[in-house]
Structures are given as structure tokens and as C-alpha cells.
A and B are shown apart, each in its own frame.
Chain A
Amino acid sequence: MEEKKDILILAIESSCDETAAAVVKNGREVLSNVISSQIALHTLYGGVVPEIASRKHIENINGVILQALEDANVTLKDLSAIGVTYGPGLVGALLVGVAEAKAISYAAKLPLVGVHHIEGHIAANYIEDKELTPPFVCLVVSGGHTHLVVVKDYDCYEIIGRTRDDAAGEAFDKVARAIGLGYPGGPKIDKAAREGNPEAIHFPRAKVADAPYDFSFSGVKSAVLNYLNGCKMKGEPIIEADVAASFQRAVCEVLVSHAVQAVKDYHLPKLALAGGVASNSELRRLMKEACEREGIAFYYPSPGLCTDNAAMIGAAAYYEYQKGTRHGLDLNAVPNLKLLER
């Protein structure tokens, strides 16, 4: 009997402000995971500046890739394929990773597999829990995305809910700025909220008519801004920790109730979290409680696998590779790539 060969994939991710490379074995085992974060740089500007992000990517990318190969103790000759995020994201940032990945794949004669960034976030769960298999419901929450996805198979998705306006992480960033906590908003609010009372102020939990799984976060964001203005007008003190905690509770409750409803409606016993906001402690806590109450198996990646990283891209690339997905030398960055269009 022929011995089954291990599939080693070098994955590259540069869709936003992290330059990342990883080597992943058989889609589940991370041999290396290198991330060069630019957060400190973008903090000066209160958010990610696309041109600065792109410039940093080109400065860092070879070093990050070489480190990933070294940490995994492999050379290009040991690899089966190159995986790369080609959308969605910032076009200039994506292009650096895509051009680099294509050149390496061409010169090293390795197959190229383009990966959807959100597919990567979902696949982070396969790394975290080696036993997790589709189908399951996945709540993808990040600075740019809020999707409720039914993962039918490794390569088959149905988006059943999405945000109508702001992404959850975007609302965190905007509220953090308004309270004066700064960038990045998610971790800042999470931290401030620990000292606050989540029931101090009641912010609205929005529902979208006729779309039980859709989200809307602009209302709660506006409610926070109105509350802050009201306090200033009345000369009342603003307790930042209470505002952060109450806002966070409002957002997380909606995320949890929609996700749990979807699991029930679709008769799937598993629920997974994905994306940067998935590392929010309140969201994890509330989701875990709800899942225990309802008898749902709950999966969530460790914080390092929630934020942008290349290991998750390597996991997603593995399943695409196994399916036979191969991209050509003309692969382009697609900033608004849809999950179902590829």
C-alpha cells in the first residue's frame, strides 16, 4: 500500500494590516505561524491607512516568509503548494501577497491556491479542534465582516445572515473612538468593560424585519453617541467602563441570539466562532453559556487564530487544494471577493 504523502502548504496573508506567513500540514497542524503586526504604526492615525499598510507589507514579506519556513524547518522543495489570500481586503495590501505568492509558486514550480479571507477565518476552527467537521454554523465577526454562515462542507457555504450596515468590529472601533479609548477598538472596549456594569445603560438590540439572521449595528452605535452627547449637555459624568460594558453586552446579545436561533432552525448541533471579534471575552462567555443551555457543541479558535493570520489561510488552502483548486499566474487581488462567487 502506498504511504499517504503529507500535504505541506506555505500560506501568505496580507489583506489588511498584518503581514503573515505560515506552514500548515494536512490542513490541521500548524508547523509555523509568523505574524508581523502593524498595529502600533496605524494607531498614530486612528485606523488602518491602506497605503502605509501596503508599504509595510512589501518591507516585511520576505522576512516573514523566510521565518515561517525556518520555524517549520522546511524548504520550498518540501512543500505541496502555496496558498494566498486574494480577497476580500485592501487591494494594495492584497496585491503584495498575491504578487509574491505567484512569483514564488512560479519559480519554485509549486501549485498556487487562492483563498478567500473569510474561508480562512472559518478554517481557523479546524486547526483549533482537530475533530471538528462540517456541517456547522459559523458566526464570522471581524472589523470588516459580520456573517452568519452555514458551513455545509469544507468548500460549500451558505451565508444566511449578514450585517445591513456596520460590521460588529467596526462598531467597536467607532464606539471606542467616541469614548476616547482609541484604536484598535475591540480589545480596548473588552478591557474597559471588565470594570463596568453591562446593565448600567440600556442600548437597543436591533432586529431586521423579515431577516431573522441579519444584523444592524449602526443603531446601537448611534445610541451610544447620543448617550454621550446627552451626558455632556446635562453636565453628567460619563462612566466609560459602564458605557463600554453596556455597548458590548448589547452587541454580543444580538450576535448570540441570532447564531443560536440559526443552529436550532437548521438542526445543526455545532456552532463555531471566527474572526477578530471572536476573541472578545464577553462574546465567548455569553455564547458558551447559551450553547451549554441549549446543548450545542461550541467551538472557538484561540485568540491568536482569531485575528488575521496565515495558518488559517493554510488550513483553508488545504481543503481547496484537495478539491483540485489551482490558480494561474494571472490571479488578481479581488478587494470585494464574495464568499460564494469563487
Chain B
Amino acid sequence: MKKILALDSSGLVASVAVVEGDAFGSNLLAEYTVNYKKTHSQTLLPMLDEIVRMTELDLQTIDAIAVAAGPGSFTGLRIGSATAKGLGLALSKPLVAISTLDALAYNLYGTDKLICPLMDARRNQVYTGVYEFCGKELKRLIEPTAVDVKEISEKLCEMKRDVIFLGDGVPVYQKWLVEILLAEFSSCGNQYDFAPAHLNKQRAGAVGTLALRYLQEGKTQTAEEHRPDYLRLSQAERERAEKEQSNRV
């Protein structure tokens, strides 16, 4: 039986969970999820402490620390990563980095529809990808990316499948999506849906459950080597690259 401590502070939600499992099944020991105000720096560790006290957890008994490693809010990702790295350093435990989008999609385990997580990436973009379940396997049909919401909805229309949307980008772009999708989807008879409240945001339980699989497959990192996967350069780097590009032309 392996035990995982999982953290997700990649978006508006802060979530901490302890998941245990083996080849026969997995069990969520505790999960604390708050979707209130973005003060993850002040909430994440107190939430972990609450779980530790409630479940009389000895942190030394965990096998790995899983963290939602991106994409997401740059600062939010770093709070989660630095917390995981600090815990990993002090406990001498490995880390498991889980894609934020993979973990979101995993919330909809077992669906036969396409899954499209949308995270608000500002600048009129979303962090997104397209997923489907093949049996127990979560498969990426479109790799995690930062794109215009129009671009991803057009791609979905071309795929001609029913789709479920979820994530904190949904309320931000819902009006646009419905406009584009109504026109396209109605013509080919496909349906779209938005995941309900208990499934549509980041859940550390999903991060931890995916991490159990990663751990079994040996896909771990040291706390020292772990870093978030932002999917995007910083603004300064982007502008510098653009300048160099235009100088070359």
C-alpha cells in the first residue's frame, strides 16, 4: 500500500489530499478543497495541517508528494511547488509532478465523451487540452497548450464528438463557447456539456490518484530537480524573442 500527499494550488482552488492505494484499488483518506479567495500562500499549509491532525497522519509514512505542476497561475504553481519541494527536502521523499490539465480531466473518469479542461490563462487565452478515456487509460488527443478559446472550440468541432468542459476557464468563456458551439455542434448533431460543481475544479484527490500510478511506474522526481511546467515563457522572455525574430527578418 502506497500513500501519497497531493497538493494543487494552480488556479482559484486550493486543494490538499492524502490518497492511498495498491494494485487492487485506491482510497481517498482525506481531501480539503477551498474555492474561495486566492491566498494559497496562507491557506495551503494550514489545510495540510488540518488533514494531518484529523487523520493522525505521520508525514514520515507517506511515500511521495504529488503536486499539480502546471499549467496554471505562475505564482500559484510556485506556491504549490515550493511547498512540495520543502516537504520533500525535509522528509526526504520523492515528488510526483502531475499535469494540472491531466488531473482535471481525470475528474471525469470513465466518460465516453471527449473531455476538455479549460483554465483561464488571461490575455484571452486558455490552458487546455483534449482527452478521452480508453478503458482505464486517460489519453491526450490534444496536448496541453495555451491557445485562444476560439481555436480550441474549432478543433473540437472538427473532432465531431460529444464533449464535456470543465475548469475555472468555463465561467470566464462560457458565453463565447456556447455561441461558437451552438452554431457548429447543432449542425452535426453532437452535444456539449459542462461538468457539475463537485467535478469541475481542481481536486488534489485526482492529483494524488494519478500520482499513485506514476509512482508505481517509477515516474518520480527528486525535490531538488522538480520545477513547474508553465507552458508559457515570461512576458519579458516572450517580448525579447519577438524582438529578435523581427530583427532577423
Which of A58, A97, A99, A107 has a CB less than 8 Å from the CB of B90?
A107
Interface status of A103 (Cβ within 8 A of chain B): yes
**Among the interface residues B43, B90, B91, which one has the most CB atoms of the partner chain A within 10 A?**
B90
Q: SS class of chain A's interface: helix, strand, loop or mixed?
A: helix
Residues of B within 8 A of A44 (CB): 240
CB distance A76 to B90 under 8 Å?
yes
Confirm or deny: B153 has a beta carbon within 8 angstroms of a beta carbon on chain A: no
B235 contacts chain A at the CB level, 8 A cutoff:
yes
In the complex with contacts A59-B227, A329-B45, A333-B41, A95-B90 CB distance below 8 A: no
Number of chain A residues whose Cβ lies closer than 8 Å to a Cβ of chain B? 37
Given contacts A99-B79, A99-B82, A103-B83, contact A62 B91 (CB under 8 A): no
A331-B235 Cα distance, complex, nearest whole Å = 28
- Confirm or deny: B59 has a beta carbon within 8 angstroms of a beta carbon on chain A: yes
Instruction: Assess the A51–B82 pair: CB atoms within 8 A.
Output: no
Residues of chain B within 8 A of A62, CB atoms compared: 85, 88-89, 223-224
Q: Does B48 contact A (CB under 8 A)?
A: yes
Known contacts A65-B89, A95-B82; A330 and B42 CB within 8 A of each other? yes
Q: What residues of chain B lie closer than 8 Å to A91, measured between beta carbons?
A: 75
**B87 and A107 contacting across the interface, CB-CB below 8 Å:** yes
- Chain A residues, CB < 8 A from B49: 106, 329
What 1/0 mask marks residues of chain B from 204 to 243 whose CB sits below 8 Å from any chain A CB? 0000000000000000000110011010001111001000
**Most chain B beta carbons < 10 A, residue from A54, A65, A98, A99:** A99
Chain A residues in 8 Å Cβ range of B236 = 45, 49, 51-52
Contact with B along A34-62 (1 / 0, CB 8 A): 00000000001100010110110111011
Given A104-B90, A107-B86, do A63 and B224 touch, yes or no (CB 8 Å)? yes
B164 adjacent to chain A (CB < 8 Å): no
Q: How far is the CB of A85 from chain B (nearest CB, A)?
A: 14
Q: Which of A76, A96, A107, A329 contacts B82 (CB 8 A)?
A: A96
Q: Which residue of B lies closest to A14 (CB)?
A: B82
Minimum CB distance partner of B42 in chain A: A330
Query: Which B residues, 51 to 107, have Cβ-Cβ distances below 8 Å to chain A?
Result: 59, 74-75, 78-79, 81-91
Smallest beta-carbon distance B187→chain A, Å: 43
Q: How far is the CB of A240 from chain B (nearest CB, A)?
A: 26
- Produce 1/0 per residue, A87-114, CB < 8 A to B: 0000110011111111110111000000
Q: Please, how many angstroms separate the alpha-carbon atoms of A65 and B237 in the complex?
A: 27
Q: Which residues of B contact A66 (CB under 8 A)?
A: 89, 224
Q: Please report whether the interface of chain B is mostly helix, strand, loop or mixed according to DSSP.
A: helix
Q: Do the beta carbons of B59 and A107 come within 8 Å of each other?
A: yes
User: CB-CB contacts of A8-46 with B at 8 A, as 1s and 0s?
Assistant: 000000000000000000000000000000000000110
Asked whether any CB of chain A lies closer than 8 Å to the CB of B110, the reply is no
Residues of B within 8 A of A108 (CB): 90
- How far is A107 from B85 in the complex, measured between Cα atoms in Å? 11
A197 in the interface (beta carbon within 8 A): no
In the complex, whether A332 has a CB less than 8 A from a CB of chain B is yes
Q: From residue B244, how far is it (CB to closest CB) to chain A in Å?
A: 11
Are B85's CB and A54's CB within 8 A?
no
A62 to B88, CA, bound (A): 9
A43 CB to closest chain B CB, in angstroms?
12
**In the complex, what's the smallest C-beta–C-beta distance from B139 to chain A, in angstroms?**
30
Q: Is the CB of B240 within 8 A of A92?
A: no
Chain B min CB distance to A154 (Å): 28
Chain B residue at minimum C-beta to C-beta distance from A69: B89
Chain B residues at the A interface, C-beta cutoff of 8 Å: 39, 41-46, 48-49, 59, 74-75, 78-79, 81-91, 223-224, 227-228, 230, 234-237, 240
A95-B78, A106-B87, A107-B86 are known; give 4 further A-B pairs, CB within 8 A: A66-B89, A104-B87, A104-B90, A106-B45
What residues make up the interface of A, taking CB atoms closer than 8 Å to B?
44-45, 49, 51-52, 54-55, 57-59, 61-63, 65-66, 76, 91-92, 95-104, 106-108, 328-333
Top 8 A-B pairs ranked by shortest CB distance? A103-B86, A107-B90, A99-B82, A51-B234, A329-B45, A62-B224, A100-B86, A49-B236
